Structure 1
Amino acid sequence: MKWTRLAITILIPMLALPLLGQAIQSKQAQARPTSIITINPVLCGTLSASYDWDEDGDVDDLEGTAAMGACGVLGGTINVSGLAHILGGDAANPEPDDFAAIDMDGGQIHETDGELWIIAFVNDDDPVRFEAEEGLFQSSGDTTVVCPGFDEDCDGDGIRGDGAVAAKLLPAGAERGEATVRVQQGLDEMEETYTIVGEPHDIEITQLESAIQNGAPDCNMFAGAAEFPIVNNAAEKSVLLAKVLDDDGTGLTGALVVFETDDDEMAVTALPLAPTLDLGALGSGAPNVICGTDNPGAVTLTARITTGADEIGLSLDRAARQRDVEVEYTVQGLAT
Structure 2
Amino acid sequence: MASRPHSHRLRRTLLAALVAASVAVPVAGAVRPAVVPAPAPTAHPPLRAATPAAFAERYAATRRDIRAAERTAAGHGDHRRAAALHVMADPARHFLDFDGRDGGRAAEVFGELPRAERIAVLVPGSDTGLERYGRLRAGALALRRALGGRCAVIGWLGYRTPGTVSPEAATDARARQAAPQLRRFVATLRAARPGARISLLCHSYGSVVCGRAAPGLRVADLVLYGSPGTGADSVAALHTPATVWAGRSGGDWVAAVPHLRLHLPFTTLGFGTDPVAPRFGARIFAAGDGGHSDYLRPHSVALANIARIVTGRPLSPAGRHA
TM-score surpassing 0.5?
no
TM-score relative to the length of structure 1: 0.27
TM-score relative to the length of structure 2: 0.28
Task: Select the structure that is richer in strand.
Answer: 1
